[in-house]
Amino acid sequence: MAEDHKHLHVAMFPWFAMGHLTAYMNFSNKLAEQGHRVSFLSPSKPHPLISTLNAHPHLITLIHVPIPQVPGLDPSIQTTADFTDFKTERNLLATAFDRTAPFIESFLHESKPDVVFHDFSHWLPQIARTNQTLAVAFFTVSAACLAQTLIQKEKADQVLRPPPDFPGASVRLRKHEIRQAVTLLKEGFGDGRSIRERIVNVVTSSDAVAIKTCRELEGHYLDYIEKHSNQVVLTAGPTLPVPPSAPLEEGVATWLGKFRPKSVIFCAFGSQCVLPLDQFQELVLGIELTGLPFLIALKPPAEAESLEAALPEGFKQRTEDWGMVTGEWVQQQQILGHESVGCFVTHCGSGSLTEGLISECQLVLLPFMGDQYVNARVMGEDLRVGVEVEKGDEDGLFDRHGVCKAVKQVMDMEDGVGKEVKMNHDKWRNVLLTPGLEKSCVAEMVGKLKELLLPVKV
């Protein structure tokens, strides 16, 4: 029985996307800090990067999950970061993900962990139950996003009118976002289920739901989820990243060191976001218009053979003394912590927002898909900790002037919007960094998990 031992053996099996893998490793570190043992199940290709985030290798073991062959899926593709054709390859990777079920079943049968945390594997709870393991759906998106997903319907007009008891009056999707959401609901994902069907199935079939948040930040959304899912809802805390042990790469540090404190704009959109060429150019031209030094880290547009070829004519020559553009992976945490960096233009991915919130950088919000839209509304309109770039309601397009306007608004911290978002950001950063907040969230979660385990481990 779970009560017979103080520490748990926990398994982690996230969807094969870097944002999910990173968040699960951050959560693993929080559990390991309190002495719990973690088996982290993932493909081998991201192991080197995940290992750098593993702060407790004596308690957290990385376990290689072989990727089954799927016709049409290049064997080199192990995570969504490897995609070149997002829509097609995502569906194929989801199929391969589902076909790992026999391996996962064998692992659960042999290792018998107390709990397995998962997100997209709707088939896992039944396997776990057979092996007397508790299955907990752990979502790396915000509670607001999960609440929005649970209420979404297949028709646009139904998405436009959320239920009267939905807690977020400011969390409203634009017309182009609704069309994207409705399209997504109809797309197959692996075995034909849409992402929403998969998530709802995971929520309803698991033994509990855990979310990467805290009650201080999203209590009203957590109450809504609990009411409408009829599930035990647990909070993992914000699962803040472990402070990086590696210093910022010397070349980048030297370049940033040329500029005055809090003056540099840092723009990065994660491992999946690929902008169309025209929007890529509007973005970089908008940042140039601010007149502030900048570091831009983006994937090249699909229409361009390289990042340099995608840059607007004359851009590189005009900005060579005060701008850096790269398509390589960068040390985001270290860059956000550099004294010269004062503004973070983010796509509003969950992990990036967490890193942005605990930094002292002003936030400019520019979402492009899925949960990013809800995250942007929560940050920009609910919590008022950043400014969202204006887009066309119908077409979802932005221009250079909208980018420049948003950056200038947040960077003017003496008055108006910039002053307001800085005050709110400072408040929430202090909440998230409150000593003991995460530890108490994890301890409370573990206590509830042990209660749930009592009828299982008998």
Catalytically active residues, by annotation: 20, 119
Nearest to residue 343, comparing CAs of 425, 273, 401? 425
Cα angle 435, 437, 438; round to 5: 110
DSSP state string for 175-213: HHHHHHHHHHHHS--SSS--HHHHHHHHHHHSSEEEESS
Classify residue 14 as exposed, middle or buried by CB count within 10 Å of its CB (0-12, 13-18, 19+): buried
Residue 396 CB-density burial (10 A; 0-12 exposed, 13-18 middle, 19+ buried): middle
Alpha carbon separation from 14 to 2, 43, 135, 229, 233 (Å, rounded): 24, 10, 12, 21, 18
List 209's β-bridge partners, or say none. 137, 233
- Which stretch of DSSP H or E encloses residue 398? none
Measure the CA–CA gap between 336 and 359, rounded to whole angstroms. 6
Q: Which residue has the tokens 């608004």?
A: 409
CB 241 within 8 A of CB 50: no
Residue 267 CA from chain centroid, whole number: 16
Pairing of strands 386-388, 362-365: parallel
What are the helix (H) ranges across 8-151?
18-33, 47-53, 86-98, 101-111, 124-130, 143-151
Are 292 and 263 spatial neighbours (Cβ–Cβ below 8 Å)? yes
Q: Using CA atoms, how far apart are residues 67 and 62, in angstroms rounded to an integer?
A: 15
- DSSP letter, residue 123: T
Give the Cα separation of 194 and 200 in Å (integer).
10
Amino acid in the structure at residue 253? A
The residues with which 10 forms a beta bridge, in sequence order, are 38, 115
